[in-house]
């Protein structure tokens, strides 16, 4: 898929404030600093569509981007901030839980996992929540250029193997590097296919 246009639309504090759910939508989430903004910029081919290196916890909103006038990319605030208060965390949890469970046009959530690390409990817990809520998701391993191909592949395999202990069905995953533009084509083709499916449904 070619990206012909990508523009920032709106930031919403609640699912009720999000744009009309008239076109398919793909959300991105992960631990803070996982490389989410960089990935969204890489996918859309725009240097600063999503803000990179934002202060942890600052952007606690649901950010919508309109792509090709055809679908939305949604940048969700990350989880796992060490420094945020209980009340900020509770607001985040409610916003994310409501959004993920109530957004009717949400096709899938891309959950970002840092390919430099062995499986982390916080990521596995988040996937468990998605399972509980029956929200479809895909896994995106980030920062592949930061370790050897072998180490990144090993961590990805370990993560998938860990998932297999709890999940019957393992969704498609992607290895990416925003620096090397790795994984762009695979994710955009995947979205294109999903969009076609939405058209026919």
Residues lying near ligand GDP in the complex (CB under 6 A)? 30, 32-38, 52-53, 78, 142-143, 145-146, 177-179
Minimum CB–partner distance for residue 56 and ligand GDP (Å): 7
Closest to ligand GDP by CB, 57 or 119: 57
Structure tokens at 102: 């109530």
Centroid of chain to Cα 27? 5
Q: Are 2 and 69 a contacting pair, CB within 8 Å?
A: no
Closest to ligand GDP by CB, 38 or 173: 38
Minimum CB–partner distance for residue 78 and ligand GDP (Å): 6
Minimum CB–partner distance for residue 200 and ligand GDP (Å): 33
Minimum CB–partner distance for residue 115 and ligand GDP (Å): 9
Closest to ligand GDP by CB, 34 or 195: 34
Q: Which three-class secondary structure string do you get for 85-128?
A: CHHHHHHHHHHHHHHHHHCCCEEEEEEEEECCCCCCHHHHHHHH
Centroid of chain to Cα 95? 15
Cβ partners under 8 Å of residue 77, min gap 6: 29, 57, 59, 60, 61, 62, 92, 95, 96
Closest to ligand GDP by CB, 41 or 195: 41
The 25-30 sheet, strands edge to edge: 6-12, 62-67, 71-75, 25-30, 106-114, 137-142, 173-175
Closest to ligand GDP by CB, 24 or 35: 35
User: What backbone phi and psi angles, to 5 degrees, belong to 180?
Assistant: -100, 5
Minimum CB–partner distance for residue 164 and ligand GDP (Å): 26
Closest to ligand GDP by CB, 77 or 195: 77
Minimum CB–partner distance for residue 59 and ligand GDP (Å): 9
């Amino acid at each position: 898929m070619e990206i012909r246009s990508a523009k920032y639309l709106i930031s919403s504090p609640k699912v009720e404030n999000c744009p009309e759910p008239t076109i398919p939508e793909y959300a991105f989430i992960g631990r803070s600093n996982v490389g989410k903004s960089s990935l969204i910029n890489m996918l859309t081919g725009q240097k600063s569509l999503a803000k990179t290196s934002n202060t942890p916890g600052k952007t606690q909103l649901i950010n919508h981007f309109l792509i090709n006038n055809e679908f939305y990319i949604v940048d969700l605030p990350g989880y796992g901030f060490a420094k945020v208060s209980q009340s900020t965390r509770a607001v985040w949890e409610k916003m994310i839980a409501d959004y993920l469970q109530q957004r009717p046009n949400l096709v899938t959530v891309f959950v970002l996992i840092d390919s430099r690390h062995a499986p982390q409990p916080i990521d596995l817990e988040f996937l468990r929540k998605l399972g509980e809520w029956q929200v479809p998701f895909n896994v995106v391993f980030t920062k592949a250029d930061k370790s050897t191909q072998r180490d990144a592949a090993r961590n990805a395999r370990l993560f998938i193997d860990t998932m297999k202990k709890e999940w019957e069905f393992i969704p498609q995953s992607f290895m990416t590097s925003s620096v090397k533009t790795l994984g762009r084509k695979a994710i955009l083709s995947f979205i294109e296919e999903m969009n076609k499916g939405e058209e026919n449904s």
